[in-house]
Structure 1
Amino acid sequence: MDNIMVSAPNIPAPPWSESDLAAVLEDMSTAYAPRLFTVFEIAADREDARIHAWGMDFGPDESCWFHTADGGASGSISSPERLLRALRNLGDFRLVRHDAARADE
């Protein structure tokens, strides 16, 4: 198994007790969790908005996955910002990240 650095403070070196293991797993889950995002399409008159897509961003060294709200498209792209650039000729789209920043950022 590859060595993975954990950033949990005050955790002793392995092998871990059950409580230390639980703390390590929680820390790793938070540190490496994908960030969720929503892409909104804004009406030209700014009187309406709709969800265009949802996605998960796996970080700067990985890709992100997206799925459109109408089910018409899904796939991967290098970043949520790249998805916005791909949509810019179709209208006004906005990105909203709706979870906490990753612990390693």
Structure 2
Amino acid sequence: MTADDQSLGRPGLIAPTTPARIVVGQDLAGMLEAFVSRLAPRLFALVEITPERRKDPVVAWGLQFDDQVHVVSCDGQLRGSFSSPDRALWLFSYRGTEVRLVWCTPADRRHHHPPRRRTIRRSR
């Protein structure tokens, strides 16, 4: 794309035709990772406790933000926003079964998922 400013007698300006690459170094990547981990919502599960062992006792997954909680049942039939995880726990205990709230810690996530290799591409 070229734009000429004939009134000022300047040559045309040429806009770049390819997007600029942003190169992220290891220091910036680490800082962003730490920043995001502090802002990330907390993950929790609502687990049904029954006398018989079920294959999947988790009835719902939730995310706790600073001011609200979002929960989705495992079958996708029930979703809700709550003021606290305890309010969500109360709702999912409506069937008369015992339901417990279990927090997923970062150590738990590392146990279930292998660590990812971080690759940083440099522009040529």
Q: Which residue of 2 aligns with 1:42?
A: 49
1:38 aligns to what SS in structure 2? strand
Aligned length: 81
Which structure has the bigger radius of gyration? Answer: 2
Alpha-carbon distance, 1:20 to partner: 4.6
The gaps in structure 2 that reach 5 residues or longer are: 1-23, 108-124
The gaps in structure 1 that reach 5 residues or longer are: 1-16
Q: TM-score, normalised by structure 1?
A: 0.63
Q: 1:65 aligns with which of 70, 75, 88?
A: 70
Alignment of 1:76 onto 2:81 = yes
Query: Using the alignment, how far apart are the partners of 1:39 and 1:30 within structure 2?
Result: 23
Q: How does 1:89-104 map to 2 (within 5 A)?
A: 89-90=94-95, 91-100=97-106
RMSD between aligned alpha carbons?
2.2
Residue identity over aligned pairs, in percent, reads: 38
Q: TM-score, normalised by structure 2?
A: 0.55
Displaced runs of 4 or more, over 6 A: none
Larger relative contact order (Cα-Cα within 8 Å, sequence gap ≥ 6): 1
Alpha-carbon distance, 1:96 to partner: 0.9
With over 3 angstroms needed to count, the CA separation of the structure-2 counterparts of 1:93 and 1:72, relative to structure 1, is: same
Query: Using the alignment, how far apart are the partners of 1:69 and 1:78 within structure 2?
Result: 20
